[in-house]
Structure 1
Amino acid sequence: MNVLVAALQVQADPQVLDNLGILYIKSGRLQEARKVYRQLFNQFSQYQDGKIHYAQLLLQERSFEEAESALLSVIKGNQSFQDAYHQLALLYTHINRSAEGLERILQAIKLCSSTEKSCAQLYVCHGDILKDLKDLNAAAQSYNLAVQIDPNIAHAHLNLGVIHHLQGRYNEALKHYQSAQNLDPNNPVVVENMKKLRKQVFKSSPRECVGDSATCRTC
């Protein structure tokens, strides 16, 4: 962060300002982030990436209408700005406007190549919205697409585990829970869900176990 501040003292640069703002947001220094983005927009009003990150700040501050306005202004200027659609979808789902969120994430996915690693997060977002809308089969399809592109997304594996668990496919559920735990070993939801799964299987059929022999011994 000190390096970025020093660079700005030499010459103002929109990308450097934006990166500094992102660092302030991630470290919870929201007032300082606001000051940086105010400077950015005063000096470089056409720098669109900054508006997207500024919207993330506004979302944290619960300034939902201002965040929506910032993202819509980006899309108005460039209808192929994939990240703006993605952030708008996240905003709408956060404020319980899931149908609009679904529309926006589909617009983002249309701009995406299925082989781009960054597209995996779009499919995760799509799956989350469909899960919220209770369309579990379609949500599972999106999560599967996400992990095919990037197998290292713990959230996608966890939700795939949840869906398989709810639908009675216990071995598949365990496989994805284990993948999620390997990627995010301190996630309490994964640990709790695995315990529930094992108890449920043992209760329904004490002679049957889920997974490999090591897992069976714990049933």
Structure 2
Amino acid sequence: MADEGRRDRCLAAHEAPPVPPEGPVTTRLPRRSFARSATEVAPELLGHILARRLPDGVVLRARIVETEAYDQNDPASHAYRGRTPRVRVMFGPPGHLYVYFTYGMHHCMNVVTGPVGTASAVLLRAAQPLEGMERMSIRRRTDRVRDLCRGPARLAQAFDVDRSLDGADLVRGSEIWIERGPGASAASIRRGPRVGIRVGTDLPWRFWIDGPWVSVSRPAAVLSPR
């Protein structure tokens, strides 16, 4: 976990006027991209770029290749039992980051989706590193590029994401955001059951693009075009 001084600086940054990242803010996904159900947003995030500005100004980028959807009526969701201090961000406006701490050692990051009060989110499970890989390697303590962002905990560690970024604005903030990328065609997207959960295992709410950057290999179906 970050020390208290760092936490205070990060929280203050959430409230400060946004500092434009490299390139105009218009290259980011707009708020409306997140203001829909998690099951709609999760596959559409594939192929877009997760970007993170570190405190020293270094920018990390990776192409999102795996996501999972969760909503309030889902028994696997943290919000299933209602609003608590831990999940308050999930009930807030879409386009913010929900970060949780698990197993006493790992952080995972989610994108809040849907209208205010609906408590839905998309877990970012894996990404293909594009920029800042040297810094990711230092944080992950590995030189294997394939393993830098393959899995939700590894992705958060590589991007230096902890609870101090819980609630960060992905649309207007200066620390972390999602940029428009090439996206992914429906034919290239696979879907299947989520992993690492004990309930809601029948729901095909995990979405991914086949390749070496995905966290796990499981049976899949091609996403049907809407």
TM category, shorter: under 0.3
TM-score (norm 2): 0.23
More helix by share: 1
Specify the structure having the higher radius of gyration (Cα): 1
TM-score (norm 1): 0.23
